[in-house]
Amino acid sequence: MALLVDIFGYLSVILHGFVIVTQSMMLGGLLFLTFLLHPLSSRLSQGEMLERRVVRLTRWSAWGLLLSELATTALQVSVLMSTVDLPFTNVMQASFAVAGSIKMLCALLIALCLGQRSMATPLPRALLLLAGLVELAAATATTHAYARLDHNALLMAVEGLHQFGAAIWIGAIPSFVLVLRHLQDVDSLRRVGVRFSRMSMLGVACILLSGITMWVFYVGDLPGFYGTAYGVMVGAKVAMFIGLLGLGLGNFLVTERLRKGRDASVTRMRRFAEVEIGIGFTIFFAAASLTSVPPAVDLTTDRVSLHEIAVRNAPAWPRLSSPDHDTLAISQLQTQLDQDAARDHQVAQAATTPGSGILPPRNAEDIAWSEYNHHWAGIFVLLIGFMALLSRAGVRWARHWPLLFLLMAAFLLLRSDPEVWPLGQEGWWVAWRDVEVAQHRFFVLLIILFATFEWSVRTGRLKSERAAWVFPLLVAVGGAMLLTHSHQISNVKDQMLIELTHTPLALAGVAAGWARWLELRLPGRGGRVAGYVWPACFMLIGVILLWYREA
């Protein structure tokens, strides 16, 4: 168990992301039913059917929250019992376990009791909302606010407001899209659109108010914003939040036209709302990642200065030649261990133990090896973006650009982790214990999957419309997962400077994925523009990778 602590730490971030997603969908669905759909149901065409579908979606979200919270709590309890040797009953008295248990009980109550009958009666409806409120309060006990020594009550209230705003806006959008999908008459669209627009504005106001307050208490100043991992992740959330506001503004204009009795594109509103769901869920995973790093105000040393950022990102020619594998730190250490063991007639020890939590040695050749990998990956991605633009412009042979992804996947699988088979001493399976190796393999798998689907779609081997959605969805998921990517580097400043490169890569990946989604789903000029945006995002990713440096 002790060997798996590292990868469990990464898994806890992923599971926490699922907890936030399902919690927001459950609370958002509950609020959508209570304040929008149920009051309007009798005045909507097919109102009863719509209510039944949203109830089902909200109930499934509650089950999802129950399962993801159960997995998260079980993981944390297991690791705690293993690392500090405490009995189960003692660990279950810890605040995170108590909060997790309350969240699971509330989710179970909502999953079992939510229905059209309970929504039709005031008292059961109020009790369901109360269960949602208790769940929200328990969720704030697992945030940074609970552990603060100063302004504890204020920050917990602000965290609750932040999560409430996310639920009423992002969490309710799946219900909104579900309803839009089945509404046909303009009057019903106008009623639902206008009321959801008001709910969204309330959610945005809650997020803005709480976000500014948390910035003051958790980030503090400008150096904390650009000089710490917490600040950079907050910056990523802010960038995606601004993107959401742009999409929300587009939908607000549509609802205003509908309210005034003018023609408006409901299809565009649906497609924008779909993208809002994707970017909103990405923000939730970024928020989960934030819980794994200390607030910027607590990191008063080892911050990165603007000068260090400028020096690290000064223009430099890409590294196109690789150092020898034998010159890497682990290879040299293993050679030394082998020689010592041979001299003493003993079995040689392994230079590293995957997942042990002990950082492997690292020298200048390791840095050169990593930069070489990133720079060649940049060349691949730059070529892919350029060929995708040519394909968009009508150059027929360029439609085979997804095959370049397969070459890149093979390159990354071979070179990303030089200490692992086939280049290194560590076996293929045992290396899964190393969180960085596991993440690299996950990204390689994603690349292979979306490249295969996209090439099959473009060459006519797959004709299903849904097969074409695989590429944008996996690219967007890859971008989201990159926000949780970590490197095991002992130097906090080095880790931070690498984070500054990976965060723009993640944002460009998310933008590329959802722009391709709009190209496929949004007819007319909007779709055509999106068709040029996502290859440009790929080319930007290629340039960032070519710019990448670790020293």
For residues 71-98, give the mean pLDDT: 87
- Tens digits of residue pLDDT in 379-396: 999 999 999 999 999 999
Res. 485 pLDDT band, cuts 50 70 90: low
Both tokens of 180, joined, read: 């839009």
- Tens digits of residue pLDDT in 21-33: 999 999 999 999 9
Residue-level pLDDT at 357: 63
Is 8's pLDDT higher than 90? no
Residue-level pLDDT at 314: 86
Res. 529 pLDDT band, cuts 50 70 90: very high
Kindly state whether residues 399 and 268 are assigned to the same domain.
no
Q: End-to-end distance of the chain based on CA atoms, in angstroms?
A: 35
Kindly state whether residues 420 and 441 are assigned to the same domain.
yes
Kindly state whether residues 363 and 512 are assigned to the same domain.
yes
Kindly state whether residues 418 and 498 are assigned to the same domain.
yes
**Largest pairwise CA distance in the chain:** 89
Kindly state whether residues 408 and 286 are assigned to the same domain.
no
Is 3's pLDDT higher than 60? no
Kindly state whether residues 287 and 324 are assigned to the same domain.
no
Q: How far, CA to CA in Å, does 46 sit from each of 183, 209, 251?
A: 8, 37, 23
Domain boundary among 298, 315, 344: 298
Phi then psi dihedrals of residue 426, to 5 deg: -75, 145
Domain span at 477: 306-547
- Tens digits of residue pLDDT in 89-143: 888 888 999 999 999 999 999 999 999 889 889 999 999 999 999 999 999 998 8
Is 491's pLDDT higher than 90? no
Q: Which amino acid would we find at residue 452?
A: T
Residues in the chain: 551
Burial 110-121, CB ≥16 within 10 A → b, else e = bbeebeeebbee
Domain boundary among 298, 314, 347: 298
Kindly state whether residues 320 and 372 are assigned to the same domain.
yes
| Contact between residue 383 and residue 538 where contact means Cβ atoms under 8 Å apart | no
Most confident region among 165-169, 292-296, 431-435 by mean pLDDT: 165-169
Residue-level pLDDT at 315: 83
Kindly state whether residues 338 and 197 are assigned to the same domain.
no
Give 487's DSSP letter: -
Is 163's pLDDT higher than 80? yes
Kindly state whether residues 258 and 334 are assigned to the same domain.
no
Kindly state whether residues 251 and 314 are assigned to the same domain.
no
- Please give the mean pLDDT across all residues of the chain: 90
Residue-level pLDDT at 135: 97
Residue-level pLDDT at 6: 59
Bridge partner residues of 420 (DSSP) = 426
Kindly state whether residues 344 and 471 are assigned to the same domain.
yes
Q: Supply the DSSP string of 440-457, one letter for each residue.
A: HHHHHHHHHHHHHHHHHH
Task: Return d(Cα 3, Cα 352) in angstroms, integer.
Answer: 12
Q: Which is more confident, 261 or 479?
A: 479
Task: Return d(Cα 470, Cα 457) in angstroms, integer.
Answer: 10
Both tokens of 472, joined, read: 């944008």
Q: Which amino acid would we find at residue 392?
A: R
Q: Which amino acid would we find at residue 78?
A: S
Kindly state whether residues 171 and 32 are assigned to the same domain.
yes
- Tens digits of residue pLDDT in 327-374: 998 888 888 888 888 888 888 877 777 666 667 778 899 999 999 999
Most confident region among 182-186, 223-227, 399-403, 485-489 by mean pLDDT: 399-403
- The tally of domains found in the chain comes to 2
Task: Return d(Cα 269, Cα 104) in angstroms, integer.
Answer: 34
Domain boundary among 272, 298, 324: 298
Question: Of 389, 532, 520, 528, whose CA–CA distance to 464 is shortest?
Answer: 520
Q: How far, CA to CA in Å, does 243 sit from each of 240, 283, 307, 421?
A: 5, 11, 29, 42
Cβ neighbours of 276 (radius 10 Å): 26
Bridge partner residues of 426 (DSSP) = 420
- The interaxial angle of helices 47-84 and 173-182, nearest 10 deg, is 150
